[in-house]
Amino acid sequence: MTGTNQPNISTGTDERARLETLGSYEILDTQPEESFDRVTRLARAVLDVPLSLVTLVDSDRLWLKARLGLNIAELPRVHSFCNETIKGSAPLILRDVARDGHFNAFPLVSGDTHIRFYAGIPLTTPNGFNIGTLSVMDREPRDILPSQTELLEDLARTTVDALELRQLASIDSLTGAMSRRAFIASAEREVSRSSRYGNPLSFIMFDLDNGREINERHGYPVGDAVLRTLIKTALTQLRTTDYLGRLGGQHFVICLPETFNENAALVAERLCNTVAGAFTIGDTTFPISASFGVSTWRGGEISSEPALARAEQALHAAKQGGRNQVISI
């Protein structure tokens, strides 16, 4: 094993700040993206290994943003190689984990995966927090050359660069909706304007009802096609002054300036009716629908956060109440 004995800069009292930094990238539970998939392909090729992962370390789980050779999306954080990797600032290299008393009982070693070799590089953000790892694994013990470790470190830095660029983007590359960060900034400007002039301001939050089932049954490319169609359809029903943003996954929100709650509810009803129906791609046809929550900014609120929280509460009620409907608060 190689690594350092330096104190972990992102555990203990700093764990909350580490998780806040991870959350600021708005990457957890998102769809696969080529920029991260490319990193795993290159990492696997560098060492000629069967498993390569880009892993983000959440509070109690490991979430795999990109993966080759492992057909699961997340793992428990406890007793994991990646959790050990983020405790230091150097690569963690384990040439034969079966001979290491600390690691040989880990699930990936003792279970069906039968991992024997592990090499992990911390994904360190510009503000110094280890939010995840780039790792490669093999089912046979092996050595790693210094030049190979250096290439993995370069790929880890490339992964962090991709996270930074993704965070700066104002448009969601998959759907064409505004990014979360760009939408929130626009919503705050609308709150300031409404507060100044006394204009109404409403929000519609909506979510694809069966998005997870579509991804699991038909695959992510089909799920992506559904999302693109959903947003394209929604945009045809909105004014040029309205904003549509993607909060994450199949979760979207619309800002409607100078719009009262009852009018926003009518827009949501129209969207709900327009979206619901059969979706066909190739030879495959299946039903889709969405649920909607509506709320209005209340004078005196200094940010969009309370109104968005109410819209999310209404959306949750719509989904709990049977889906494919609009709830207004």
What is the CATH classification number for the domain harbouring 40? 3.30.450.40
Asked whether residue 25 falls in the same domain as residue 148, the answer is yes
110 in any annotated domain? yes
Q: Which domain holds residue 201?
A: 180-328
Last residue of a domain, one of 144, 168, 192: 168
Give the Å distances, CA to CA, from 165 to 30, 74, 169. 16, 24, 6
- Count of domains in the chain? 2
286 in any annotated domain? yes
Asked whether residue 124 falls in the same domain as residue 211, the answer is no
At 312, which CATH number? 3.30.70.270
174 in any annotated domain? no
And the tokens for 324? 């494919």
Last residue of a domain, one of 135, 168, 201: 168
Asked whether residue 199 falls in the same domain as residue 153, the answer is no
4 in any annotated domain? no
Last residue of a domain, one of 102, 133, 168: 168
Asked whether residue 122 falls in the same domain as residue 267, the answer is no
pLDDT at 307: 97
Return the percentage of the chain with pLDDT > 90, whole number: 76
Asked whether residue 132 falls in the same domain as residue 224, the answer is no
Q: Which amino acid is at 298?
A: R
Asked whether residue 185 falls in the same domain as residue 164, the answer is no
7 in any annotated domain? no
Q: Are strands 326-328 and 290-296 parallel, antiparallel or unpaired?
A: parallel
226 in any annotated domain? yes
Give the Å distances, CA to CA, from 30 to 33, 121, 172, 184, 185. 9, 22, 11, 18, 21
pLDDT at 8: 37
For the cut 90, the answer to whether the pLDDT of residue 325 exceeds it is yes
Banded model confidence at residue 6, pLDDT cuts 50, 70, 90: very low
CA distance 317 to 169: 31
Asked whether residue 209 falls in the same domain as residue 318, the answer is yes
pLDDT tens digits along 141-173? 999 999 999 999 999 999 999 999 888 888 888
Asked whether residue 188 falls in the same domain as residue 161, the answer is no
2 in any annotated domain? no
Its pTM stands at: 0.64
